[in-house]
Amino acid sequence: MRKRLREALDEMTAQPAEAHEEILRRLAEDHSHTINALHGAYPVGDYTCAVYAFGLVDNATYRGVAGWGLGRTFAGKDFVEFSIDHHLTEIPAGTAQPEDFVIYFDESGFKHIGLLGDEGRVVSKWGTGLLLEHGLWEVPSAYGDHIRYFDGLDRGQAFEAFICYAESNGFQFDR
């Protein structure tokens, strides 16, 4: 059952974000799930899963760097992998607390990131879609079949991780 729901969620993420809440309602008729849309202060098209998880949604410096030039330096796959290598501390699943990172992988590496919420639920932004609260495995199958947990970062630490990543890509900041 879980596999069929995850495959249906893959199909949902290929649809426009405006359709996702209705698709989730329809999916509940055939696939039991506990996925809930969250309505934040920022338009869903303005950020990704990593931008949300690292708390960069409203950071003007982040937006300036991400929007500069060809837009190649942003909080995406390379940034998350850089952060795992240089800024994050992996923790055992049983010790994870709310606001810690839940990172999904497949055999090729990083696929998705969210924040652990209350009662083992996850809050994450799905591609160009909605910000959602969901069960650990109530995610598209494209997000992989392996999860690792990492200590969360406060906003200052997360921003510093992005600055270090941007500097590794040639950006210079007055420090």
Q: What is the pTM of this model?
A: 0.94
- Nearest CA to 145 out of 111, 113, 94 is that of 111
Please write the tens of the pLDDT for every residue from 35-79: 999 988 888 888 999 999 999 999 999 999 998 876 789 999 999
- Nearest CA to 164 out of 78, 68, 101 is that of 78
The full set of domains in the chain, from first to last, is: 2-168 (3.90.1720)
- Nearest CA to 142 out of 100, 101, 102, 110 is that of 110
Rounded Cα–Cα distance for residues 105 and 124 (Å):
15
How distant, in Å, are the alpha carbons of 61, 91, 166 from that of 133?
A: 28, 22, 30
Q: If pLDDT is split at 50, 70 and 90, which confidence band does 4 have?
A: very high
Please write the tens of the pLDDT for every residue from 142-170: 999 999 999 999 999 999 999 999 999 99
Please write the tens of the pLDDT for every residue from 102-126: 999 999 999 999 999 999 999 999 9
**What is the per-residue pLDDT for 3?**
67
- Nearest CA to 112 out of 89, 65, 80, 88 is that of 80
**Which residue blocks in the chain are alpha helix, DSSP H?**
2-13, 20-30, 49-53, 60-66, 77-86, 155-168
pLDDT at 1 over 60: no
Contact 155, 53 (CB under 8 A): no
pLDDT at 2 over 70: no
Rounded Cα–Cα distance for residues 86 and 164 (Å):
9
**What is the per-residue pLDDT for 44?**
87
